[in-house]
Amino acid sequence: MAQENYTPRMEQRYKNELAPALQKKRGYQNIHQIPRLKHITLNMGVGEAAQDKKHIDVALKDLTAISGQKAVATKARKSNASFKIREDMAIGVKVTLRGKRMYEFLDRLVTIALPRVRDFRGINGKAFDGRGNYALGIKDHTIFPEINFDKVEAPRGMDIVVCTTAQTDEEAKELLRGFDFPFRN
């Protein structure tokens, strides 16, 4: 990504194939009506951070490596004595990807990471929120090739939320199918 005029493969596919096909199929009058990706948010909850702060640093390093962009720590809004959490204590990490990094991550997720999941049979096609956004949970972050499996103490789960401009879940599912999302239903 050192070149400034570089266009990611998924972005080229969207502009050249997917957007015109969606416009023709759905009959959109204006190009701004065509659904597109807004951003992708990666979130990793680190509950062990309440006992040991180094878990946050490891999670920050891992999420930064996966996304290619610096991750930030998320803090607790309220204290909770049963979980031994105080207000403003770091309990997770997140990063929001837009533009070229978003398309690069999407390409790596669909072509490299998801096929590496053990006993993979596709992702749930019903995990839309009603407004065209898709949420995906991963149990093991080591499916990404950027993570050195030998240096990982324990596999962590993460949430991936793909936000689109689609008005309905059907439009969003059609858009994500165009990006080769392996829906099972």
pLDDT at 86: 76
Percent of the chain at pLDDT above 90? 31
Q: What are the tens digits of pLDDT across the range 154-174?
A: 788 899 999 999 988 899 999
Q: What are the tens digits of pLDDT across the range 120-150?
A: 888 888 889 888 899 999 888 888 888 877 7
Describe the strand order of the beta sheet including 37-45 as a list of residue ranges.
72-75, 90-97, 37-45, 158-164, 134-138
Q: Is residue 150 assigned to a domain?
A: yes
Q: Is residue 25 assigned to a domain?
A: no
- Domains in the chain: how many in total? 1
Distance CA 152, CA 2 (A): 29
Q: Is residue 59 assigned to a domain?
A: yes
Q: Is residue 140 assigned to a domain?
A: yes
| Residue 154 neighbours by CB distance under 10 Å | 9
Name the one residue in this structure whose structure tokens are 């490596």: 65
Q: What are the tens digits of pLDDT across the range 57-83?
A: 888 888 899 988 999 988 877 777 777
Q: Is residue 88 assigned to a domain?
A: yes
pLDDT at 8 over 70: yes
Q: Is residue 6 assigned to a domain?
A: no
Q: Which domain holds residue 63?
A: 36-178
Contact partners, residue 1, CB within 8 Å, separation at least 6: 68, 100, 101, 104
Could you tell me the CA-to-CA distances from 73 to 52, 60, 93 in Å, in that order?
Answer: 14, 7, 4
User: CATH code at 141?
Assistant: 3.30.1440.10
Q: Name the pLDDT band for 38 (thresholds 50, 70, 90).
A: very high
Q: Is residue 14 assigned to a domain?
A: no
Q: Is residue 10 assigned to a domain?
A: no
DSSP string across 50-86: GT-THHHHHHHHHHHHHHSS--EEEE-SS-BGGGTB-
pLDDT at 51 over 70: no
Distance CA 172, CA 36 (A): 8
This prediction has a pTM of: 0.85
Distance CA 18, CA 176 (A): 10
Question: What letter does residue 123 receive in the DSSP assignment?
Answer: B
Would you state the structure tokens that stand for residue 121, as one six-digit string? 């049979």
Higher-confidence position of 47 and 50: 47
